[in-house]
Amino acid sequence: MNKLLATGINQITLRVNNIARSEEFYSDILGFDVEKRMGKGMTVYRIGSDTLVIVEAETEYDRSAKDYRVDHFGFVVREAEKIDELAAYFREKEVTIISGPANRKNSRFLFIMDPDGNLIEIYTEN
């Protein structure tokens, strides 16, 4: 039997309710540069060798729902101090912090939520 020998994740694509609001979050708050826009409803970000794509959904996300579209995805930062700096910054920007900043065995982490309920982990490994 042949196996797919993947070497990494090519992209994460998220469905969002409002492309402009999500661009503001991913560009202005998280600081990602737009690589390209595809029509009015799709924006592509290049983050290192990875790609994050946001696509405007046809139906609204129900914030009262207990099931998530994506469990979570994570971004790595280099220094543990950056986690605390980001937590303060996110509070200032009124970004929902779900958990942290806190320590794990060999890492420090923070979970936040984007405007459409997608859970994002920001972490560093010691």
The reported pLDDT for the residue numbered 67 is 61
**Matching CATH number, 72-126, of 3.10.180.10, 1.10.3720.10, 1.20.1270.10, 2.60.40.10:** 3.10.180.10
Say yes or no: do domains 9-60 and 72-126 share a fold: yes
Mean pLDDT of 87-109: 91
pLDDT tens-place string over residues 2-23: 454 545 566 788 888 899 999 9
pTM of the model: 0.69
Mean pLDDT of 58-69: 66
Residues in contact with 67: Cβ distance below 8 Å, sequence separation at least 6, in sequence order? none
Residues in contact with 7: Cβ distance below 8 Å, sequence separation at least 6, in sequence order? none
Task: For the chain, give percent helix, strand, coil, nearest 5.
Answer: 20, 40, 40
- Phi first, then psi: what are they for 98, rounded to 5°? -90, -40
